[in-house]
C-alpha cells in the first residue's frame, strides 16, 4: 500500500523515520493533542503504526513492524487514546449478566442516527462520501477482531471463530465481507483499492479502526475486543437495512447492495453468538474481564457516535464530510 501524506508533526516524524529506515531517530512524543480521539495528526500516526501489523507500505521495510522505537512511539499514542476513552466513556450502571448489560447498553444508546438520515435524505454526493468513509475499515473487515482468537479458549474461542468464518465468506473469496464492499465500491465507480481514500478521511474515521486495533493487539484488552465486536454486531443489522434502502432509492441495483443485504441477515445471527457464546462465555470463564467487555462495547458506541455526529454535522452545514486535501477523484457514479 502507498504511504499517506502527513497531517502534522506526529505523522510527519513517523513517516520520515519509516521511509528512511531510521527508527532510532523517532523519539516518543512529548506533547499530545487535547482531543486524541478525533485529532487528524494523532489518529493518522496511530493508524500507520497499526498498519505495519496488517498490510504494511510499499516504501517501508516490513521488519520495522517490531522495531522497539516504533513500538515505543505507538505506545504513547495508544495510551493517550485509551486514557481518553476511559475518561469519556461513562461506566455502565446496568446490572445483571454481561449479555444483559450489553443489551441494555445498546438499547440506551442515543447517538446520532446517521443511518436514518442516509436512508431518507442523503444526496448522491453524501452517499458516495459515506461509502468512502466506511472503506477505511470495511476493506479490512473482521481483521482487527481476529487478533483476539489466539487469546481466547473454550466456548469463547469457538464462538469468535464461528463469527469470523462467516465474515470471511465461509472460505469463499467472493463472499468475504471485505470483497463484497469492494464490489459495492466498483459498482458506484469508486476505487476499491485498499487504503485509496486514506488521505480523504478525517481523524475520527481512522479512530474507528484504531480502537479495534488497540483492543485486538493487546492481550490485556481481549475482553474489550470481544465486547467491541458484540456492540458492532448488535448495531449493524438495522442500519444496513437502511443503507440498502438508501442505495436503491438513489438508483443502485441489487448487486451493488449485496454488501448491505448480507449484513442484514448475517449480523442478526452474529448478535446472539457474540452476546451469549462469546461475551457471556468469556465472562463466565474469566469473570475479572466482565468490566473490560462492557467497556469495549461502550467504547464502540462512543466512537461510532462521534463519527456519526461529525459526518452529519458537516452535511447539515452544507459541507463535505471529507478532508479538503485528498478528495480528488471521489465523486463516483451516484455523485456524478
pLDDT tens column, 22-80: 999 999 898 999 999 999 999 999 999 999 999 999 999 999 999 999 999 999 999 99
> DSSP code of 221?
G
pLDDT tens column, 295-308: 999 999 999 999 99
Classified as helix, coil or strand, 89 is coil
Cα 275 to Cα 156, 228, 297: the distances in Å are 10, 11, 11
**Summary count for the chain: helices (H), strands (E):** 16, 0
3-state class percentages of the chain: helix first, strand second, coil last, to nearest 5: 70, 0, 30
The band of 267, judged by pLDDT with boundaries at 50, 70 and 90, is confident
The band of 335, judged by pLDDT with boundaries at 50, 70 and 90, is very low
The candidate with the shortest Cα–Cα distance to 281, out of 96, 155, 98, is: 155
Question: What is the rounded distance in angstroms from the CA atom of residue 63 to the CA atom of residue 39?
Answer: 28
The candidate with the shortest Cα–Cα distance to 191, out of 320, 327, 332, 54, is: 332
Cα 225 to Cα 149, 295, 300: the distances in Å are 10, 9, 10
Mean pLDDT estimate for the chain: 94
The answer to whether residue 326 scores a pLDDT higher than 50 is no
Number of residues in the chain: 336
Rounded to two decimals, the pTM is 0.94
Question: What is the rounded distance in angstroms from the CA atom of residue 90 to the CA atom of residue 88?
Answer: 6
pLDDT tens column, 201-257: 999 999 999 999 999 999 999 999 999 999 999 999 999 999 999 999 999 999 989
The band of 1, judged by pLDDT with boundaries at 50, 70 and 90, is confident
pLDDT of 301? 97
Residue 91 cell numbers, joined: 461506566
Question: What is the rounded distance in angstroms from the CA atom of residue 117 to the CA atom of residue 317?
Answer: 14
Amino acid at each position: 500500500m502507498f504511504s499517506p501524506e502527513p497531517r502534522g508533526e506526529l505523522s510527519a516524524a513517523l513517516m520520515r523515520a519509516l521511509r528512511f529506515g531510521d527508527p532510532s531517530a523517532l523519539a516518543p512524543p512529548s506533547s499530545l493533542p487535547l482531543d486524541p480521539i478525533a485529532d487528524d495528526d494523532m489518529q493518522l500516526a496511530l493508524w500507520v503504526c497499526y498498519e505495519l501489523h496488517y498490510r504494511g507500505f510499499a516504501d517501508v521495510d516490513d521488519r520495522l513492524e517490531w522495531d522497539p522505537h516504533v513500538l515505543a512511539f505507538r505506545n504513547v499514542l495508544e495510551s493517550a487514546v485509551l486514557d481518553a476513552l476511559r475518561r469519556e466513556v461513562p461506566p455502565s450502571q446496568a446490572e445483571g449478566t454481561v449479555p444483559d448489560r450489553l443489551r441494555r447498553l445498546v438499547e440506551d444508546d442515543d447517538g446520532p442516527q446517521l443511518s436514518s438520515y442516509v436512508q431518507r435524505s442523503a444526496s448522491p454526493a453524501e452517499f458516495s462520501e459515506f461509502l468512502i468513509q466506511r472503506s477505511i475499515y470495511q476493506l479490512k473487515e473482521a481483521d482487527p477482531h481476529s487478533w483476539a482468537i489466539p487469546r481466547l479458549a473454550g466456548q469463547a474461542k469457538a464462538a469468535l471463530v464461528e463469527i469470523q468464518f462467516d465474515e470471511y465468506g465461509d472460505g469463499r473469496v467472493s463472499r468475504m465481507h471485505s470483497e463484497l464492499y469492494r464490489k459495492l465500491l466498483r459498482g458506484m465507480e469508486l476505487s476499491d483499492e485498499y487504503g485509496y481514500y486514506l488521505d480523504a478521511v478525517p481523524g475520527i474515521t481512522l479512530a474507528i479502526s484504531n480502537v479495534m486495533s488497540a483492543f485486538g493487539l493487546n492481550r490485556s484488552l481481549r475482553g474489550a475486543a470481544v465486547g467491541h465486536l458484540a456492540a458492532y454486531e448488535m448495531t449493524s443489522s438495522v442500519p444496513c437495512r437502511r443503507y440498502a434502502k438508501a442505495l436503491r432509492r438513489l438508483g443502485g441495483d441489487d448487486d451493488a447492495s449485496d454488501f448491505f443485504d448480507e449484513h442484514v441477515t448475517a449480523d442478526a445471527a452474529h448478535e446472539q453468538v457474540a452476546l451469549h457464546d462469546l461475551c457471556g462465555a468469556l465472562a463466565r470463564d474469566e469473570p475479572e474481564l466482565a468490566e473490560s467487555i462492557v467497556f469495549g462495547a461502550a467504547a464502540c458506541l462512543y466512537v461510532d457516535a462521534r463519527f456519526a455526529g461529525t459526518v452529519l454535522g458537516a452535511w447539515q452545514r452544507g459541507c463535505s464530510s471529507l478532508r479538503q486535501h485528498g478528495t480528488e477523484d471521489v465523486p463516483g457514479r451516484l455523485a456524478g
